Amino acid sequence: PKTWSDDEIAIDRVAPLFLAASDGLSLPVNRQLIRRDAHATRSLLRVDINNERESYAFPLAATASGAENEGAPIHSAAELSVEQRKKQLSEQIRLEGGRFSFNTKYGALNPFAIYYCLLSILLGVVWYAALTACDLLYIITGGRFDQKRLLPNYCNQMWGTLLMRLSRSYPKIVNKDILRTFYKEKRAAMFVSNHASWMDIPFMGTTIGWRNYKIVAKKELEKVPILGKGIKCGKNVSVDRSDRRSQLMTLKAGMQWLKDGVHLCTFPEGTRSKSGRVMKFKNGAFKMAHKVGAPIIPLSIVASGKVMPSHWLFPFKPSHSIAKVIVHDPIETKGKTEDEVATAAREAIISGLPEDQRPGK
């Protein structure tokens, strides 16, 4: 027998309780101690699984105190109705973004997110005009001018830099001296990092700096207003993951850019991790670098998901003093197998991440 305090409950009526994690994994929980989050509402709890640092939020269906709740069932996230899930998400959004936060069918917003949106659109108008001018220049010159498409890259970089600065979202960059030393060698590299938020894209570009680089991106991004034009105008590498032929063309295009001395950057997970934890890596990026002998430069992006989780349309608070990018030493691909290179890059990225972003055990 144990006496529970007011902010604790014992799950002893469910064997087991399953909590659905955001990555689709169901976690069994039996007779676990659940502590009420200090900032949670009366109907929301956070569960610490096996004393690990990872928490999951779910509605409170039973408490240790209060006769009205005695014997009430505790439901898993999978058993919640659509309305209950919407209510839970709304509560989570208010906890994250403040009392003026609200949800939309496209994602959550609050005053800062709206400011970020308007700022990106305002800067985007100028960005779009500059990219249009670049397109006209390439048409007039028959593509003979600026064959490596450095001008569109500078336009993209200017938009991203101004947006980061004016929204106080510029991340802290650790070990920047590694890049300064590497750039003196006049070699192209493949930059790879973990991916948990849309903010990872400007964070990576900010870290690489004013260099000619191309992003290996999903073809769907070409449909995003303005951003899609930047991807196509700069001849970034787009891949259609449903088309095998497109994947082969992507491989060849990426290898050619590296041979031409242009950096590549990508997220080897292939998509954002909704839980924030590093997922399995795909081999495409490492295959490109390995075949041409280009080095891999791993980047650890920390806490981007804390300012813009997957359910937010724009970041809900500035990244300054929260997010950071850690640059790791280049990994040479010559004399190593493709798997050895991929493993070394993954281990380097994970080594720079906090516990709550590392792969689950």
Q: What is the pLDDT of residue 79?
A: 53
The first and second tokens of residue 189, run together, are 């590299």
- Going by the DSSP 8-state scheme, the letter that residue 226 receives in this structure is T
Distances (CA, A) of 247 to 43, 148, 191, 285, 288: 47, 21, 19, 11, 11
First-to-last alpha carbon distance for the chain, in angstroms, is 31
Which three-class secondary structure string do you get for 135-198? HHHHHHCCCCCCCCCHHHHHHHHHHHHHHHHHCCCCCEEECHHHHHHHHCCCCCCEEEECCCCC
Q: What is the pLDDT of residue 87?
A: 86
Task: Report pLDDT digits (tens) over 198-245.
Answer: 999 999 999 999 999 999 988 888 888 888 999 999 999 988 877 788
Say yes or no to pLDDT of 354 above 80: yes
Say yes or no to pLDDT of 100 above 80: yes
Longest dimension (CA), the chain: 83
CA-to-CA distance for 75 and 19, rounded, in angstroms?
Answer: 9
Mean of the per-residue pLDDT values of the chain: 82
Q: What is the pLDDT of residue 65?
A: 37
- CB-CB contact of 231 with 215 (8 Å): yes
Rounded to an integer, the average pLDDT of 112-126 is: 96
Range 290-293, long-range pairs (CB < 8 A, 24+ positions): 290/333, 290/336, 290/338, 290/341, 291/255, 292/255, 292/258, 292/259, 293/333, 293/334
Strand order across the beta sheet in which 33-35 lies: 8-10, 33-35, 44-48, 55-59
CA-to-CA distance for 37 and 47, rounded, in angstroms?
Answer: 9
CA-to-CA distance for 259 and 15, rounded, in angstroms?
Answer: 58
Q: What percent of the chain has pLDDT over 90?
A: 66
pLDDT band for position 25 (cuts 50, 70, 90): very low
Strand partners, 297: 191
- Which pTM does this prediction carry? 0.77
